[in-house]
Structure 1
């Protein structure tokens, strides 16, 4: 199971990186909503890692410096790999949401959620790119597997 999550995290890293590179090259035509969603994808990943690792979290909708986006994406990946390597996927994590509500979920459930969450929002970013006159990036998992 850990190998499967490693593969999904590599998929997530790869397509987030392509989106960030597109944003950096075309940020003058990206919509504010697209930029917000891109930052939100990275922020949410950081937040879930931080909840597991008991670290400080980003704001859910904070806007990060453009020049930090690739670094944040890489750091998110590395922290998730650290979790995979050092923690039991069945371990239950107790955390508080941004609204202060307390919940318990397994690390496995959290990792699946953060991958699914990123995929969902990358689809929204594709719509924003198309509306801005850009060619959306095909970010389906199968496209990643065909090339890796």
Structure 2
């Protein structure tokens, strides 16, 4: 009786392949956009500093372009996303080869589609923004 209630599990379950990336960086440019179909989305750049003693100044900045299509995240970003905000971003990564027609060279473009984010640090308030909040 006991043997019939024991289930066997297989460890050979095949999971689909995926590429996910997690980045800690500072927001640069922010573009609120819309598709031809009227769907809102956001493109923003994220700066990631790497420190290496081999570099002349010891610091190198890599820039990543991130796209956001989730409606709830877009609403949250409309309120506080601006240059200087530090985020941890969890994103799906995709690569495609793009040909530059003018120079006939090919390069690989990596696109990041945001899945989740956490705010690490908000941007510093500018003097103009402080004056507006005092007058209100």
Question: TM-score, length-normalised on structure 1?
Answer: 0.21
Structure richer in strand, relative to its length: 2
Question: TM-score, length-normalised on structure 2?
Answer: 0.22
Structure showing greater relative contact order (alpha-carbon pairs closer than 8 Å, 6 or more residues apart): 1
**Larger Cα-atom Rg:** 2
Structure richer in helix, relative to its length: 1
